[in-house]
Structure 1
Amino acid sequence: MGSRWYALIVDAVDPERLGRWWAEVLDHRVESVSPREVVIGPAIDGHPRIVFTSHDPEAPARNRLHLDLRPDDLDAELERLVNMGARHVDVGQPENAAWVVLADPEGNEFCVIRPKR
């Protein structure tokens, strides 16, 4: 049991520009582009990905970088992480979100994503 590192999330004012720049720097491929998100990853196995998301510089301060984890069993992993000292965090995520936001013992936020079905 446990989680696999799925992605590093980077808040960006211009996700497409920054994502394409890092793809070139790291010799990664651009996996997807949408108005609010650009995903890049290594050509071999695609993990971990780097996801550049739209960030409003006027928005309240939050972590500009965070990890996304994808466990095999969401509920068991959430219990394990909380028992290890993580805590649930409300950052305004929708009630039906496909992820759960936690903070590590020092307050650094990270997301645990529902497994693929």
Structure 2
Amino acid sequence: MSLEWEQVIVHAADPVALGQWWADALGWVVVQSSDDEFEIRPAPDRMPGIDFVRIDEPKTAKSRMHLDFRPDDQAAEVARFVAHGARHVDIGQGNQTWVVLADPEGNEFCILGQRTA
């Protein structure tokens, strides 16, 4: 049996705007776009991708799943994401080696510190 991870689904009030924000932030390409769905990937034939799908209910609580990114330079990536429109958020993480940010619709994601081992 073979199993391939194809994509992560992100529910969004405005999938086009949020998907484009993430495509620009990550330097990914758009592979599908409509008013209700917007899919991005690292390259057209490379997976997994992120598929932004319209949902009418607003986000009301901490995300149950979020993305973690491990950059070479944490401070530079945090600054880059914040300049791109992300904001710092406190989800009760306390003082950690990672930084929690949120995208324009409030979806949390982490910029991790350097790998220790």
More strand by share: 1
With CA pairs under 8 Å and 6+ residues apart, which has the higher RCO, 1 or 2? 1
